[in-house]
Structure 1
């Protein structure tokens, strides 16, 4: 029997609305693969667009070779960034609005030119970027206990939830996209450390991969789009009352509080 992708998409959307996770899709639906998962993501993307929400960028996941090996994949994945999920101006972020949130520190790129080449060069990708900011992605999963395989997270918009962008803008020439370090502190104690090279060797590599993929799927990157390029270190669990201080080399610190 063929998979009912519309019903699977609806179950994920309802899980998000009701904050009640579903079992892994890859367990519940034999044959549910990555192609099916991207089809499900696209169904929910179109429904959100029809409801008046707006895509303002993309997120890249699975940029760590170690995580790729763990899931048995050889490339990253992607999801949409929505205007309603931008928590950059929030004094306190409501953890209870999510199911099982985690945070990760990243470098975000903001484009000032579209990228429509089928195979963009690294130099061309860099030239399209207006500036970079430190960022925190708040990931969440509609899959129970984060028991995800690649198809599970892809279908669930690459486990995207909310994001926070720093106000401190830097040109690419002003930051180290190879050895630039990151430290995340949870309630005053170090919780995650990393380096820019942990993101596919250089976050620009991730951005170029995304730009090529977006041309392939018919949603090319445009001027003004935000790119969350991928985690610089391990994710950290979130609970109400937590406070995070994020230090990405070359940028002013980011501070987040959860209620």
Structure 2
């Protein structure tokens, strides 16, 4: 698909979907807009390979009729890959309205079955390429502390949803919250330092989880590089200004009403979220 515009790519992929797959994308969009969950049993087997799953995802993104603000990368640890029977990460496109600057508040009524993760968020301030070294990726990005809220259009989805349904459902994208952005090279002197970022996740003031960035493909920059390469291969390269949520430090708990805080070291600061009914 190299050389095609986004609209041309979407048109080509829409026509390549079977009627069942087009219906699947439409049902995902309906669930997204109405927050009425789909049953996994109704859609098992609708998608059976990565390429088709990403085509369904792009159709779903097209139906949202909103600019893509960035991406989330999932399955970035050995543990989560095993849970979803995968040997590699996967990504989901996220529309602009799903990226929120913290501190902020959200209502559970606007979500479906959300979880909560702690991540690093990178924003491309220059064109990122698959040929870039990890150092070059640092030099071309900002970094921010992040708190992601995965959410799925399927009922009882975690941790039993199949990889292909996860991919079709925009990598179960919900919300991405991010703290203050800083040039990555101002926060970290070397690429190796990015493998040693520590974070504590607090719920109503009590520590619930703690994790380290090495859980994310040994270094979140590896996750960013994987995404840049994958999008290039698919003919839809990452755009300047888009943000990437690179993967969770911890196995995610369920999001609940109350106050959530992710505390990061390396001067990254905190990300605070208030959840209401």
For 1:234, the equivalent position in structure 2 comes to 251
1:23-64 Cα offsets, whole Å, 9 max, x none, are 22685336633332111101112222xx3x111211101101
User: Which of 165, 169, 179 in structure 2 is aligned with 1:166?
Assistant: 179
Q: Which moved more, 1:69-78 or 1:84-93?
A: 84-93
Give the alignment of 1:93-242 within 5 angstroms. Answer: 93-117=106-130, 119-129=131-141, 131-146=142-157, 147-172=160-185, 174-175=187-188, 176-239=193-256, 241-242=257-258
Root-mean-square deviation over aligned CA pairs: 1.9
- Write the distance in 1 (CA, Å) between the matches of 2:97 and 2:41: 26
Secondary structure in 1 aligned to 2:25? helix
User: Which of 76, 85, 99 in structure 2 is aligned with 1:72?
Assistant: 85
Deviation at 1:152, TM superposition (A): 1.1
- Taking a change above 3 Å as real, the CA distance of residues 45 and 171 of structure 1, as seen in their structure-2 partners, is same
Gaps of 5+ in 1: none
Pairing 1:38–2:46 present: no
Gaps of 5+ in 2: 1-17
- C-alpha contact (below 8 Å) 1:25/1:152 kept by paired residues: no
- C-alpha contact (below 8 Å) 2:121/2:243 kept by paired residues: yes
Relative to the length of structure 2, the TM-score reads 0.85
- Taking a change above 3 Å as real, the CA distance of residues 40 and 223 of structure 1, as seen in their structure-2 partners, is same
- Write the distance in 1 (CA, Å) between the matches of 2:87 and 2:25: 25
- C-alpha contact (below 8 Å) 2:100/2:175 kept by paired residues: yes
Relative to the length of structure 1, the TM-score reads 0.90
Pairing 1:19–2:30 present: no
